[in-house]
Structure 1
Amino acid sequence: MKRSIIVITLLLLLSQFLFALGDNSDKAIYTVELRDIIDQGVADYIERSLRVAEPNPVILILDTQGGYLTPLGDIIRALKEYPGLLIVWIPPGGKAGSAGVFIALAADKLYVSKSAVIGAAQPRPPDPKVVNFTAAWIKALAEDKFSSEDPRVMISEEFVTKNRALTGEEAVKLRIADGRAEYLKDILESERLIGYEVLKLKPGLMEKFLSLVGDPVIAVLLIVIGMLAIYVEIAVTGFQGLVVVGFLSIIAGIYGLGMLGLDILVLAVLLAGLAFLIAELVYPGLQVFGVLGILLMIIAIYMAYWQQPYIDFTPYSIVMIIVLVFLSSVLIYSGLEVGKILKLPTPSLRESLIGKHGIAKTVVTPRQRGIVLVESEEWTA
């Protein structure tokens, strides 16, 4: 009897617990913020957030000027596969530019502020092949969201083909957006989500790290530091752990460059630059090798940016290139100085004692050896 009561009590408690879980999932809505350049770290953050939120409604707060194509594809795939209600909101003063337009059109609903902007998604440089691909991609998203005969599909294509951009008011008027929203509560009221618990999902440290190394300048800088650390370890210091740090730095840099999407030519130019830098360290004094190495690495960085149609150079990128050149120059100079020191002739033990003054501690004659104190050390002479 007691066992039956215990079992029934546990079942009731379990049912209440499961009901509570179900009630929470029905009355929770998650917000996810995308306010940075779209890179691998942001893509991982979006994918993780959607896994946590599933199957609850999600509001993606979008304010981005664009980003990289490969992470954008990952984000679009995750958005289209999400089983719950997915809303994108471009807040006051926000923008969905370049790659951000694709994310806005991939959502179930789109709300914009009056002061928001959406559009201007033409790839740069406007290579015909890339333009045709992105135009077809955005057309497919628009047809899936509206219908193949809907005039909004043509407007969506013009975001790419004509670099068209719309204000928030224009987006609502043309029905690209489903409505205006100046505050989060406006969306909750329009979608009848009042009473839902609003939960905010934030990016983790790993996702922030991936965003950092995803910058081409940072990635190249990590590879350079890693190569030079390994060289110093092997050629100068002996094992001090630098080879491990160098190896990890190279791995992080290669991951940041996204080897699956990196053109082989970019990698070849980068490796050639590193080879010239190492040649300058091995054969100091030529100088031209170091200059060529730095120049080739800058070209590799430019090519890495150039193959991303929705990424532009920023003042931050220029600063990081200057840091890269400065660091490479310092390392080259240090290598030259270390090389000069290593090339100095090392005197033999006998030569090092010539000209030194010592104190005889025993009798020393031309025919009899004795003990002599030289610089606090005893020697037989």
Structure 2
Amino acid sequence: MNPLRVVRCVALALLAVASFASAAPRAPGQGRVLVSRLEGPVSPVMAQALESALDRASASGYEALVLEVDTPGGLETSMRDMVKAVLASPVPVVMWVTPSGARAASAGVFIVMAADVAAMAPATNIGAATPINLQGGMDSTLARKVTNDAAAFARTIAAQRGRNGTWAERAVREAVSASETEAVDLRIVDFIASSLPELLAKADGRAWRRGSEIRSLHLRGLPADRIEPGVRQRLLSLIADPNVAYILMMLGFYGLLFELQNPGAVLPGVVGGICLILAFLAFSVLPVNYAGLALIALAIVFFVAEIKVPTHGVLTAGGVLALVLGSLILFETGGAGPRLSWAVIAGATLATTGFFGFLVAAGIAAQNRRVTTGRQGLIGTQAVAIDGLVPEGRVRVGDELWSAVSEAPVEPGANVEITGMNGLRLSVRPLAKEAHS
């Protein structure tokens, strides 16, 4: 074979391969960074937002995920889920406490320290990671166990990322905090950055590790794509607060019960149904204690039963007790996140008691009200004698003529009082001033 022809064939083959490689589709995130914001209490909603951002960054091939953090802390369970997701992320994660005035407190400390690169904007702070039980005080043994567990978790995160484990433990045990400059000096975070371009420039060239593999970041000057929260996330951010979810649930109960008591009103039933659906949507991402939910449902049953079968307040008292106890244990919250307020519990208890008290009182009043229709409605009313009643004759009741028999003689045109009814004949008696002497 001609050697020149062989060379030409090899060259054409290499050119074809190169052309195919250059035409291969490029990942949408290649050569770019993805930016998302973690703002507000650490909660299941925030954990879902973080996991969604990590999935998108990984699937689209972004060079890094930048997370802008501003949180007072929150649920320990959500914090641990977020830390695990960051530590296992195949995409490098850059945590940035921003803007000025922001903080990474309590559970936020653990999340920031778990990042491959951690930075803070000017005039920000980090720290105060002592566990808190906002539903009531802990006994000393339990408090010691929880604190030791959190301290060990903080130390292991710090060791994993080469940060100051001693300070991390003090943040848990002594609730110490640090400004951005102190945080850099103490090796809590890596540097200070006042803008996204500065953040990417200072993170450029830093090493990040996954298992035994170590790589370098190349982020300087890269363009950024920002994740905007979707409708579901915005809605959950509004309602996934124990106080909001609780109020929605109670409004839902009120609306449906009012509709059952007044069929055809429609609006209370529609509003109540929507409120209940929103409440249960919030419950899907909140740490709900279903024993508390069962007690609240039992309270509603007691209140309804009091309406149907009055027990002189026994069922009402039981309903109030079940409502208060169920409300107290409804959410298993802890840390610096939102909790069910005593004011909301007291307000809901008073409103519910008043609501059902009004229904009971209205029912009792209706039972005691004088009958105004049918046969019973005629008794006690007045009629006018058309004929002389001696003792029988006719009387006019409204626009109707009735046969009547009187206890005493009555002159035509005199007023009489209906005292009874026998078939279609009324029993009447003359009024005192109409009676014959």
1:184 and 2:196 are equivalent in the alignment: yes
Mean alpha-carbon deviation: is it higher for 226-235 or for 74-83? 226-235
Partner of 2:126: 118
> Sequence identity of aligned pairs in percent?
24
Structure 2: unaligned runs, 5 residues or longer:
1-18, 205-218, 384-396, 405-423, 426-437
1:129 to 145, 149, 161: 145
Per-residue CA deviations over 1:2-55 (Å, capped at 9, x if unaligned) read: xxxxxxxxxx89974713xx3x42222111111211222222222222222224
CA 1:46–1:109: 2 relative to 1, 3 Å: same
CA contact (8 A) 1:87 1:108 kept: yes
Q: Distance in 1 between matches of 2:85 and 2:179?
A: 27
| Contact 2:42–2:337 (CA under 8 A) maintained in structure 1 | no
| Contact 2:371 2:377 survives alignment (8 Å) | no
Match of 1:214, as an amino acid?
A: A
Q: Which one of 105, 109, 112 corresponds to residue 113 of structure 2? A: 105
What is aligned with 2:72? 65
CA distance in 2, matches of 1:272, 1:336: 18
- d(CA) in 1 for partners of 2:132, 2:312: 39
- Evaluate the alpha carbon distance shift between residue 340 and residue 49 of structure 1 in structure 2; reply closer, same or farther with a 3 A threshold: farther
Give me the whole-angstrom Cα distance separating, in 1, the residues matched to 2:299 and 2:232: 30
Aligned AA (1:162): E
Tell me, what secondary structure is at the counterpart of 1:203? coil
1:348 and 1:329 map into 2 onto residues whose CA distance is: 33
- 1:94 aligned residue: 102
Tell me the equivalent position of 1:31. Answer: 35
Q: CA deviation at 1:240?
A: 4.5
* TM-score, length-scaled by structure 2: 0.66
Change (3 A) 1:264 1:329: closer
Bigger mean CA deviation after superposition, 304-313 or 187-196: 304-313
CA–CA distance in structure 1, aligned partners of residues 358 and 41 of structure 2: 36
Is the counterpart of residue 53 in structure 1 residue 57 in structure 2? yes
Is the 1:40–1:211 contact (alpha carbons within 8 Å) kept by the matching residues of 2?
no
Q: What is the CA RMSD across the aligned residues, in angstroms? A: 3.9
Higher alpha-carbon Rg: 2
- What do the CA deviations read for 1:170-210 (whole angstroms, capped 9, x no partner)? 11001110111122221111123233221111222212222
Give the count of matched residue pairs: 345
- Shift in alpha-carbon separation, 1:110–1:294, aligned structure 2, 3 A: farther
Amino acid paired to 1:339:
G
Q: Secondary structure at the match of 1:175?
A: coil
Q: Amino acid of the residue matched to residue 176 of structure 1?
A: I
- Give TM-score scaled by structure 1 length: 0.74
Is the 8 Å Cα contact of residues 213 and 253 (structure 1) preserved in structure 2? yes
1:288-367 alignment to 2 at 5 Å? 293=319, 297=323, 300-303=326-329, 307-311=333-337, 317=341, 320-321=344-345, 324-325=348-349, 327-328=351-352, 331-332=355-356, 334-336=358-360, 338-340=362-364, 342-343=366-367, 344=369, 347-351=372-376, 356-358=397-399
Indicate how the Cα distance of structure 1 residues 130 and 213 shifts in structure 2: closer, same or farther if over 3 A, else same: farther
Q: Distance in 2 between matches of 1:234 and 1:37?
A: 38
**Structure 2 CA distance, aligned partners of 1:16 and 1:323?**
66
Instruction: Report which structure shows greater RCO (CA 8 Å, sep ≥6).
Output: 1
- CA–CA distance in 2 between the matches of 1:184 and 1:156? 26
Deviation digits for residues 150-179 of structure 1, max 9, x if unmatched? 7x1121122112212111111100111011
Residues 61 and 120 of structure 1: CA distance in aligned 2, closer, same or farther (over 3 Å): same
Which ranges of structure 1 fall in alignment gaps of 5 or more residues?
Answer: 1-11, 367-379
Contact 2:118/2:191 (<8 A) preserved: yes
Contact persistence 2:287–2:331 (CA under 8 A): no
Distance 1:220 1:197 in 2: 43
Moved more, 157-166 or 205-214: 205-214
Structure whose residues are more often helix by fraction: 1
Tell me, yes or no, if structure 1 residue 41 matches structure 2 residue 29: no
Is the CA contact 1:102–1:141 (under 8 Å) kept in the aligned structure 2?
A: yes
Q: Is the 8 A contact 1:216 1:301 kept in 2?
A: no
For residues 301 and 108 of structure 1, the distance between their equivalents in structure 2, rounded to whole angstroms, comes to: 41
Helix, strand or coil at the partner of 1:171: helix
CA 259–45 in structure 1, closer or farther in 2 if over 3 Å, else same:
closer
Which residue in the other structure is 1:84 paired with? Answer: 91
- Structure 1 residue aligned with 2:173: 161
Consecutive aligned runs of 4 or more in structure 1 exceeding 6 Å deviation: 12-15, 241-245
- Are the equivalent residues in 2 in contact too, given 1:63–1:90 (CA < 8 A)? yes
Q: 1:286 to 1:79 in 2, by over 3 A?
A: farther
Partner of 1:139: 155
In 2, distance between residues paired with 1:272 and 1:128?
36
Structure 1 position 112, deviation (Å): 1.0
Distance verdict in 2 for CA 1:46–1:287, change over 3 Å: farther
**Structure 2 Cα separation of the partners of residues 240 and 330 of structure 1:** 22
Larger strand share, 1 or 2: 2
- Cα deviation, 1:362-381, whole Å, max 9, x if unaligned, reads xx999xxxxxxxxxxxxx99
Q: CA deviation at 1:262?
A: 3.9
Q: Which amino acid aligns with 1:208?
A: R
